Amino acid sequence: MTIRPWPLLLLSLVLTCGRSVATDTPHLSAARTPADAGLTDIRTMAPDIAEDMKYAAPDNFTGATVPGYLAPACLLRTGAARALAQVERDLRPQGYRLRLWDCYRPARAVAAFVRWAGDVSDTRTRASHYPALRKDQLLGEYIAPVSGHSKGATVDLTLMRCEGVHCTPLDMGTDFDFFDPLAHTDDPRVTPLQHENRQRLLKAMAARGFVNYPQEWWHFTLSGAADGDTIYDVPVQ
């Protein structure tokens, strides 16, 4: 397994972006398997939770399957997996369910995002993911060299309304990984219904200890469930 040289990557990002970013080097764990990293498959706790794991297939902002994703699985630290399964149980009696897009993210996948953002000749996904920006504007503000997902306690997801086994995703105002202020959780331009849907998701997640990242309505982290500055690079499998 190739370990990304983090200090050089961070320096490269600063020079490329022309803007300041945090340069604290994270601790890259020596774990080689999900078990070594204390990662649990969410389906061991919520067997039929809906998954659409975007980076394990080409349907994502890079237009390709992302390195490190060997299977379309949601892995999380055990505490985060337990809390997320409880959110799903809370929602079902109300007629709602979760749909998961990403959970634990290997460090090599984050490095692949940075490489993709640096290739300004590849704009295949601009219309659907960053229509108002040039690709070189994504580094730093939207794509960083270190992700909290690599700690194993962060999840990207949405909410569905269900009637029996038939579920429909709620209208949240943007798609997943839409790089634009419109994706900010409290952006005032969304409709009242879209705002209500975002708040419904936020409140359901907050009830079990998840904190929203305000620049992305879909992004939640369970506070205290990860190991400080430790990140992991074991593949999702």
How far lies 24's CA from each of 6, 9, 11, 87, in Å? 10, 12, 11, 33
Distance between CA 153 and CA 105 in Å, rounded? 10
What the block records as the tokens of 200 is 């419904």
How do strand 210-212 and strand 219-222 relate by DSSP bridges?
antiparallel
Query: What residues contact residue 126 under an 8 Å CB cut-off, 6+ apart?
Result: 135
216 catalytically annotated: yes
How do strand 230-231 and strand 75-77 relate by DSSP bridges?
unpaired
Catalytic residue among 88, 141, 163, 216: 216
Distance between CA 3 and CA 40 in Å, rounded? 23
Provide the terminal-to-terminal Cα distance of the chain, rounded to the nearest Å. 15
Sign of the Cα torsion 53, 180, 219, 172 reads negative
Distance between CA 205 and CA 203 in Å, rounded? 5
Residues 172 and 156 sit within 8 Å (Cβ to Cβ)? no
Distance between CA 42 and CA 34 in Å, rounded? 12
The length of the chain is 237
Q: Which residues does the annotation mark as catalytic?
A: 216
